[in-house]
């Protein structure tokens, strides 16, 4: 490690202790950010673990809606994000105004909101879901009730396939990183690595998921790889997950399905930005209390069935 990087890492660790802070990193962050974090995981998992600690400050290395989720669950803590411009295009595909208008058209429909949404959208929702429990959340709703699934159409289709008796209206949103994957990409990767099993995230298109040996959330992909007897895998999700997969399963081989599987927003956080956010305790992420109160109810409804 170059001397200047080592000094920066040392200063970050010192500031973390001084500020009584926790550093939280999503799986899609740069390897050096993941290695410095106290916890590495998916967005909701990180927020729940952080809420259970005595830390005064939460530094969320991820995109903006993730830091908002931490603020929803930990209103008494200071929540900062190293780069406030780290947004999520999927989360931006639904606004609270547009959701309210759609709810007016579908009177009586239950709104299931993916955790990849803003706090204001969660506040307009009946219940939140993750990529790991979307089908279970839909199944928990009263039989016969129409469901409006927001905003990821691919995850919604995946949940609908496991709930064929439900009428599910899909919002026309998508994660561009996962949605760009095509059957040809998977067939090419399989031809290059014929012994490898394919593990895909449910934000991918249905025809891509149909070629997978396993479909799971980020945490689920790690668990599948760790517990499987298979020694080689093709990974169909953002490339940042490879770092944790290789750490957890050093005796196995992992191949990214396509070099296109990179989210630039997730890579905006750097060591320098992390240092500055700890030093200044800025930029802060705060959720107005009326919105937080409604959003946390939607999250708690999900936690009650998980």
The whole-angstrom separation of Cα 85 and Cα 261 is: 20
Q: Which CATH class for the 3-87+266-287 domain?
A: alpha beta
Quote the strand ranges of 81-146, DSSP E.
110-114, 127-129
The whole-angstrom separation of Cα 179 and Cα 154 is: 8
Q: Where are the domains of the chain?
A: 3-87+266-287, 91-174, 181-259
Percent of the chain at pLDDT above 70?
99
Regions in the chain scoring below 50 on pLDDT: none
Helix or strand run (H / E) with residue 198: strand 197-200
Q: What is the pLDDT of residue 1?
A: 65
Q: What is the pLDDT of residue 305?
A: 85
Q: What is the pLDDT of residue 79?
A: 97
- Report yes or no: 149 and 168 within 8 Å, Cβ to Cβ: yes
- Name the DSSP class of 231: -
The fold of the 181-259 domain, in CATH, is Rossmann fold (3.40.50)
Q: What is the pLDDT of residue 31?
A: 97
Q: What is the pLDDT of residue 306?
A: 54
Predicted model pTM: 0.95
Number of C-beta neighbours around residue 240 at 10 A: 23
The domain 91-174 belongs to what CATH superfamily?
NadA-like (3.40.50.10800)
User: pLDDT by residue (tens digit) across 86-123?
Assistant: 999 999 999 999 999 999 999 999 999 999 999 999 99
The tokens describing 269, both together, are: 């956080």
Residues linked to residue 21 through DSSP beta bridges, in sequence order: 57
The whole-angstrom separation of Cα 68 and Cα 125 is: 16
């Amino acid at each position: 490690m170059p001397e200047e990087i080592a000094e920066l890492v040392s200063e970050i660790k010192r500031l973390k202790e001084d500020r009584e802070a926790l550093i939280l990193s999503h799986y899609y962050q740069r390897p050096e950010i993941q290695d410095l974090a106290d916890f590495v995981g998916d967005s909701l998992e990180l927020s729940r673990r952080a809420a259970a600690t005595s830390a005064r400050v939460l530094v969320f290395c991820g995109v903006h809606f993730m830091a908002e989720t931490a603020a929803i669950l930990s209103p008494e803590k200071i929540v900062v994000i190293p780069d406030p411009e780290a947004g999520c295009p999927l989360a931006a595909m639904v606004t609270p105004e547009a959701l309210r208008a759609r709810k007016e058209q579908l009177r009586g429909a239950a709104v299931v909101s993916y955790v990849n949404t803003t706090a204001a959208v969660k506040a307009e929702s009946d219940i939140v879901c993750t990529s790991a429990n979307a089908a279970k959340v839909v199944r928990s709703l009263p039989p016969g009730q129409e469901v409006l699934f927001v905003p990821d159409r691919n995850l919604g289709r995946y949940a609908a396939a496991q709930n064929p008796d439900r009428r599910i209206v899909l919002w026309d949103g998508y994660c561009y990183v996962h949605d760009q994957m095509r059957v040809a990409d998977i067939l090419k990767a399989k031809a290059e690595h014929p012994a490898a099993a394919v593990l895909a995230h449910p934000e991918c298109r249905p025809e891509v998921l149909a070629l997978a040996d396993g479909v799971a959330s980020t945490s689920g992909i790690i668990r599948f790889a760790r517990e499987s007897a298979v020694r080689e895998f093709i990974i169909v999700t953002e490339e940042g997950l490879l770092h944790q997969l290789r750490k957890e399963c050093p005796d196995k081989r992992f191949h990214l399905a396509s070099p296109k599987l990179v989210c630039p927003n997730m890579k905006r956080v750097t060591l320098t930005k992390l240092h500055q956010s700890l030093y200044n305790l800025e930029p802060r992420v705060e959720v107005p209390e009326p919105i937080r109160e409604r959003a946390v109810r939607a999250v708690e409804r999900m936690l009650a069935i998980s």
